[in-house]
Structure formats: C-alpha cells, structure tokens
Structure 1
Amino acid sequence: MSIQQPCDSLWRASAPAASELMPLEQELDVDVAIVGGGFTGLSAALHLAKFGLSVALVEASEIGYGGSGRNVGLANAGLWLEPDDLDRQLGKEAGKTLYDALAVAPDYVYGLVEEYGIQCEATRNGTLHCGVGKAGLAQLQRRCEQMQQRGAPVTLLDAPEAQARIGSKKFNSALFDPRAGTIQPLGYARGLAHAALKEGAQLFDQSPVENVLPEGDRWLVKTARGSVKADKVVLATNAYGEYGVKQQARKFVPIFYSQLATQPLPQDVLDVILPNKEGCWDTCTVMSSFRLDQQGRLVFGGMGGEKHYHASWATQRVKELWPVLEKVSWEYSWTGKIAYSEDHLPHCQQLQRGLYSVAGYSGRGIGPGTIMGKELAQWFAGKRDALSAPMTTLRDIPLREVKRMFYEVGAHTYHVGQRTHVLD
C-alpha cells in the first residue's frame, strides 16, 4: 500500500455547501445566546427557534469546524460507558433516565435528517462493535447482556458471522446494533445550520468570543465587532473551549483522533469489506474505527494526533485486516479533538445563574449532542422540568496536561508497536 501526500478532510471535500453566514458586527438582544456551532449548539438553536424563543449563535470559525465536522460519523445509541457502570455512577434512576434518552438518539437524528431534508449521506444499516481477543469478547458479552436487559435490540455475532460482516478474519465477535448508522458529520452539522436558519435562528461565523460577562440579571457575549445580550447563555464548544471560554477547557482532557480515507474502492473489494455498510469500532485499548462513505471510500481512524506515525500504522493495520487492500492509497487525512471527562459522561453545568455549559461526550457527540441541545431548548421554553443528564459542577482536572500527554504517548507507542509487529 502506498501513501500519497494526504490532503484535508474527506468531510470538507464532500459536504454540501454551507450556509452563507456573516461575522457578528452588531449589538443583538435575544432570549438565548449560544457559543459554538457544533451539534449541541446547532440543535439548541434549531429547537429554541422552533419553540418561538429568539436565539443568536456565534461560532469562532465556521459551522462544524470542531469535532462535529471532524468525527467518524457514527450515529450511535447510548453512551461510551457500559449500562451497569452508568447506573453505578449516577444511581439506577438517574442512570435509566439518561440511558433511555440516548437509546433513541439515532431515531431523533435520522428524524431530523428526514424532516429538514439534510444531505449527509445518512445510512442506517446499524453499527458493529468489533471484538479483539478474550478481553474484547468478554466486554461485548457484558454489553450485550446489559443492553438486552434494557430492551435494546442488539445481537452478539459469533466469529464466522462477524468476520463475514466485517470482511476480516481478525475479529472474534461483533455486537450489532440495528438502531444506529452512519452519516457525513459535517454535512449533518451544515444541515442543522440550514434548519436553524429556516426556523428563524440567527447564526454568525468567524466570530470568536472574547468575553462572557454578567450584566445585571442578564449576560453579555462580546466578540471583536459585536455583542449579544441574552437572558441565558449556553457554552457549547466541547473540546474546542479555547475560543473565548478557556475556563471550560480545564474540565476535560482533550484527546486527538486522526482519520484517513482511501480512494473509492472497486466493487469486487466492496463486496467483501463491510458489504452491509455498517459503521465499526473495535475493543482495543487504543481504539480504531472504520466505515465506508457512500462513494465507497474506506475511512479508517484511531486515537492520536501524530500524522506521520498514524498514517504508517494505519497503512500496516489495514493491510493486516484486509489483505485485498494492499495497493490502495490514502486520499485524505485529518485530525480532531474529543473531550473526555473523568467519568466518561456528558455534563450539563449551570456555571452561574443563566450561564450553562454542555460538554464531555467522550467521542459520542452526534446523538447525545443533538439530544442535549433539544433538551436544553425544551427546558428553557418551559416544556420539560429537567434534563436527562444531571446538572453537575465539575472540578478542574488535576494534571490535565499530563493526562493528555499520557493518552497521546500511549497511542503513539501502540501505533509504533503494532506497526513493528506487523512488519515482523
């Protein structure tokens, strides 16, 4: 397999055109101001406008610039945590509330796609959590049992069926979830922006927030050339909290995740690799993900931001998984950031009266971000009494930078070790 000089993101290259927005250059007065144009902020803006509240969203760069436009594009149900772990962390009642809300997240995501005609390569053929080794199989067995106890229509595939569905003999099992699927994530983010504008929300890009200040019993969100006065403010920057809300960045560990995409694969290869086009990720400690886009490109990703080592490792790993891909070249390469909280749960925080933050999806932003944005809007509009995610106060993560480096060095070491193992 040869590596051509990678360029930009596949998602940027293939997404439908973005809405034509302008920087904020005036003084606005609205019910709710939102900082961040990703899934959470866009969903909140869309639903707030739909409920009749005035809303202005400001984005530092462009819509979907952060993790929302850079992720794998798996529209999953539920959370990263195993369901029993969720109950232990929150208690059974609160755990069930959050689990139930996110179990139907794919239904809601694909419902919005249909309602607003969002062009995002929506493919709902399920996902496969792919088992590696005895520990991986044991993990999938636990997850399957716990999810089935909660009514999830998941199935644990044995080695022959998993290998046939994945097209690789390197996996001993797979947990199939038919509720889930894949999307083109930047296309989805841009589609949410189109929908929010249609409902009457005001969106502004290229408008980094310089400060968020209390002003009497209200709030003032200031950018270089404008401001938004609002009753409530939602900070929805997730792992990209450096843009005007740096204090929030201290609450999460940012993890880099890199992806590469091949050229479109020939049909005889597509008949073997993921013939049903499920989205996949594995049970390895340093997780990998893989899926196809609608043009037949293989999109392969893993933790870590070191592009040279990541590309070399991915090349060798793909050759090991699918020998038929030996002559395929990478066409795109890009990196994003994931916000990991210490408990791997999303957190809604009321920082001060009227000032809220939602972040910490730990790599599961599509469904949870969409749901959390909708619930915030319902709450502000008086349509629900509380959010599904508990309101919490997060402390600063001690040794945050050390922990970030631990993940990065661990991913780098794993990639180099795996590459050496394959070459040997």
Structure 2
Amino acid sequence: MPTSGPSNLWRATSAEALDAPPLANDSAVDLAIVGGGFTGCSAALEAARGGATVALLEAETIGHGGSGRNVGLVNAGLWLPPRDVLKILGDADGTRLIKALSNGPDIVFDLIEREGIDCEPVRRGTIHLAHSAAGLKGLRARFEQGTLAGRHYELLDAADTAQRTGSMRFTGSLRDPGAGTIQPLAYCRGLARAAQIAGAELHEKSPVTSITRSGGDWMLEAAGHRVKAKALLIATNAYQTHFGAPFAQEFIPVHYSQFATVPMPDDLRARILPDGEGCWDTALIMSSFRTDRAGRLILGGIGNAEGAGARVHSGWARRKLSELYPDLAHLPFEHHWAGRIAMTSDHVPKIVAPGPSALAIFGYSGRGICPGTVFGMKAARALLGGTDGDLPLPVLSGHGESLTRAKAAWYEFGATATHAVFPHPLSRRQ
C-alpha cells in the first residue's frame, strides 16, 4: 500500500528552489499575473525578458496546483487528435492551434537548456500505448494524422512495445521520439527562478482577494497590499480562487492521482523503460507510467487518491503495477498524491477576456506542460503590445460549462467503479 498520507514525490525531490516572499508593499507594474504554474511563470519570464515590469501573485507556493502534481510528459499538441481539433474549431482556428503547439517539446527543452533548469529532462520520446485492438486502431489513425501535427511518429507492434516498456500488456503503441519527460515541479520552479533573474517580482502566499478596474488600470489586492497593472493575466486553471464576475472560470474539475515506488533494483531498472520514455494508454479511464532519475516507477490514473475513493484507487495502483510488471508486485509505494485537471467539454483550452487588456487562460484538460508554456509566452506578448492574432486561439468574451459538479462527480464515480473491479476483461490484451 502507499504511504499513510499524501506525499508528493516532486516536492520531495525537486532540485530547483526559489525565494518568493509574500507581497509586502504596494506597486505598479506593466503586467500582473495571478497564478504561479506553467502558464503564469512562462508569461512572467517572457514579459520580464522583454523589458516589462511584472508582478506574479501566487496564493500558495509556485507550482502548488496542477503544475506541481503533473505526470511530467512533455508531449506536443493536445489529447485530441488533430482532425478532431479541426472539426471543433474549423480549419483556420484549428490549424492555428495545431501549429502553435506542434513544436511544444522544442520550446520546453530549449527553455530548460537556456535557463539551466535542473528538472531531470529526458528527451527520448513518449509512448501512447494500445490497451486493446480498438485502442491500436485509434493509434493508427493518430499515426496517419502525424503530418497535420508536424510530428514524425513511430507505430510500434506488440513486440517492439514490449521491448521499449518491459511490459507484455499492450497490443502496440505510437511513439513520438521528439517528446520526453521532466520533473514538472522543478521545471515550474526553474521558470519562476529565471523570471526573477530577468527582473519579475514573484510573491508566494499572496492570495488575490479583489480585482477591480480603475482609471484604465487593473487594481489587485493581495496580502493587505495593492498592485496596479496596465495588463492582467489570470493563470490559475483548476486552482482558481473565486474572484467573482467577470473573472470566474467554468470548467469540469477532474482528479488524477499518482503512486511512486521506491527505486527499483538495478536489474529491473535496466529492462523497465530502459530508455526513459513516459507512457500513457488508450483506455477510457486512462492510466500512465514513467520512471524518474532515481529509478522509481510512477503510476498514475484518473481518480482522487486523497478523497472518498482513496482506498479503491490505492488498491487499483497495487494491482495495476502487478499486471504491468509482475516483478514489481511487492515493491513498496513511498509517495502518492493527487491533482486537479481543468477539463472543458470539448477538451480545448479557453482564452477569455474578462476586461480590457486582460486575459484568463484555462482548460488544458490534462495536458499542461507544453500548452501552458506556449500559451503563457504568447499571452505575455499579446498583452504587452502584440495582438490577439499572436495567441494560439481566438479570445472569447466568456465561456460557460453546464452541470460542472455533476460531471465531475460522474468522472470520479466512473474512475472509482473501474478501479474497484480491475483487472477485468477489457483491461486485458485482445
């Protein structure tokens, strides 16, 4: 079983740290950013490097939300296949988004190198695993759409997949050799540190309690002080504190949990994901697995391992590990944690303008590293003298989601029910 209480591996092992004291005085800046995740920190770095004055306000600590609870897969694009993106957005806007995210891994790994971010970067690919014959059919369709996404995928059969993963449980897979893995919290902290070096002011433990418009500027209240800003970016995603209209964001909160073993013995480490790829599968209730620098096996799945279904999800993790890797069946879990995903009904992120010179970005639907980095950079440019055409998506005046609580409960119920009966026939190779 996992540890007795939640314990985030990324917080325990991050080599990156920074000092971002609470807001202690009033200030006036070009850009105020609310939220210290991938999007906010990327925007702060881009703006500060461009010569703008920046204040980033984080209610907890940098990377506290989904960015510091991420799986750490540096994938291009969205979860949606490119043709689905075009169908939802239309050819012009869909192509715009696909092009903006097609080289996401290049942007992330270039930032890591440029800023010297110590985040365990491994760029040896990621693997989308077919859990069944139907799943493999879907991967073949994605392979055929690779040129639309600007990616050069490799379609692997069961034998090649087993060789790369060390597991016999999959019928085939789709590999993106240009993708990779990182320690996500260390990456987020590294972006923040680089932003500070470039001149941005970052403040942790500074929850924003009020946002108003006054005299053509934005006024933010936090930690008993005020920040006046010419432009505003809200980048809180699934961890937003409700500021009231027009800043409230509507999305479906979905939980994702991860379980990390103690480091594997050397002989097992040499044959389980020997090249360090990160993996996720095609199952409706998706799961993922990868390793870290120390050789831990990190298993993830939809569901809240810190909520009412904790025992069910924990039991599933043990059985899933045994199915994937029988030789790891009794290897102890030493960390487990959960995070929230901001899901939209169409699985496409949203950029909303809550007022003049202001943007709110949310709804990455489970893929935050590359989109968050890219959206943050482009939002900073657009807010500081660029145009909306520089953004990956058109700006909306608002976005609504219906029955968000009911849908969130349904996702959790489905994950809990599926995990309770695992293994079952649909989880087996077909």
Q: TM-score range by the shorter chain?
A: over 0.9
State the alpha-carbon separation in 2 of the partners of residues 330 and 112 from structure 1. Answer: 32
State the alpha-carbon separation in 1 of the partners of residues 399 and 54 from structure 2. Answer: 29
Q: 1:87 to 1:203 in 2, by over 3 A?
A: same
Q: 1:184 to 1:99 in 2, by over 3 A?
A: same
Aligned pairs for 1:209-228 (under 5 A) are: 209-228=208-227
Q: Is 1:61–1:206's contact at 8 Å kept on the other side of the alignment?
A: yes
Match among 313, 334, 345 for residue 310 of structure 1: 313
Cα-to-partner distance string for 1:296-353 (whole Å, 9 max, x where unaligned): 0001000000332111101001101111112200000101000001110111111211
* Alignment match, 2:83: 84
Cα-to-partner distance string for 1:103-152 (whole Å, 9 max, x where unaligned): 10110101010001001001101100000112211110111101135441
* Alignment match, 1:75: 74
Q: Is 2:27–2:228's contact at 8 Å kept on the other side of the alignment?
A: yes
The alpha carbon displacement at 1:278 in A equals 0.3
Greater shift, 28-37 or 303-312, is seen at 303-312
The amino acid of 2:57's aligned partner reads V
Which contiguous aligned blocks of 4+ residues in structure 1 show a shift greater than 6 angstroms?
none
SS at match of 2:365: coil
* Alignment match, 2:340: 337
Greater shift, 219-228 or 141-150, is seen at 141-150
SS at match of 1:314: helix
Greater shift, 184-193 or 379-388, is seen at 379-388
State the alpha-carbon separation in 1 of the partners of residues 189 and 25 from structure 2. Answer: 23
State the alpha-carbon separation in 1 of the partners of residues 141 and 223 from structure 2. Answer: 51
* Alignment match, 2:37: 38
Q: 1:214 to 1:247 in 2, by over 3 A?
A: closer
Indicate the RMSD between aligned Cα atoms, in angstroms. Answer: 1.9
The amino acid of 1:55's aligned partner reads V
The amino acid of 1:379's aligned partner reads A
* Alignment match, 2:354: 351
Identity across matched positions, percent: 44
* Alignment match, 1:258: 257
Match among 388, 401, 414 for residue 392 of structure 2: 388
Q: 1:130 to 1:394 in 2, by over 3 A?
A: farther
State the alpha-carbon separation in 2 of the partners of residues 117 and 16 from structure 1. Answer: 12
The amino acid of 2:372's aligned partner reads G
Match among 325, 328, 332 for residue 325 of structure 1: 328
Cα-to-partner distance string for 1:167-186 (whole Å, 9 max, x where unaligned): 11110011000111000000
Aligned pairs for 1:12-411 (under 5 A) are: 12-242=11-241, 244=243, 250-305=249-304, 306-383=309-386, 385-411=389-415
The alpha carbon displacement at 1:216 in A equals 2.1
State the alpha-carbon separation in 2 of the partners of residues 378 and 399 from structure 1. Answer: 34
* Alignment match, 1:413: 417
Q: 1:249 to 1:135 in 2, by over 3 A?
A: farther
Greater shift, 391-400 or 201-210, is seen at 391-400
The amino acid of 1:115's aligned partner reads R
| Structure 2 unmatched ranges of 5 or more | none
State the alpha-carbon separation in 1 of the partners of residues 370 and 132 from structure 2. Answer: 29
SS at match of 1:5: coil
Q: Is 2:117–2:190's contact at 8 Å kept on the other side of the alignment?
A: yes
Q: 1:299 to 1:248 in 2, by over 3 A?
A: farther
State the alpha-carbon separation in 2 of the partners of residues 183 and 6 from structure 1. Answer: 25
The amino acid of 1:118's aligned partner reads I
Q: 1:195 to 1:3 in 2, by over 3 A?
A: closer
Q: Is 1:162–1:174's contact at 8 Å kept on the other side of the alignment?
A: yes
Q: Is 1:156–1:175's contact at 8 Å kept on the other side of the alignment?
A: yes
State the alpha-carbon separation in 1 of the partners of residues 148 and 397 from structure 2. Answer: 31
TM-score, structure 2 as length reference: 0.95
Count of residue correspondences: 423
State the alpha-carbon separation in 2 of the partners of residues 116 and 399 from structure 1. Answer: 42
Greater shift, 237-246 or 373-382, is seen at 237-246
Q: 1:332 to 1:245 in 2, by over 3 A?
A: farther
The amino acid of 2:271's aligned partner reads V
State the alpha-carbon separation in 2 of the partners of residues 271 and 246 from structure 1. Answer: 54
Q: Is 1:254–1:338's contact at 8 Å kept on the other side of the alignment?
A: yes
Q: 1:421 to 1:332 in 2, by over 3 A?
A: farther
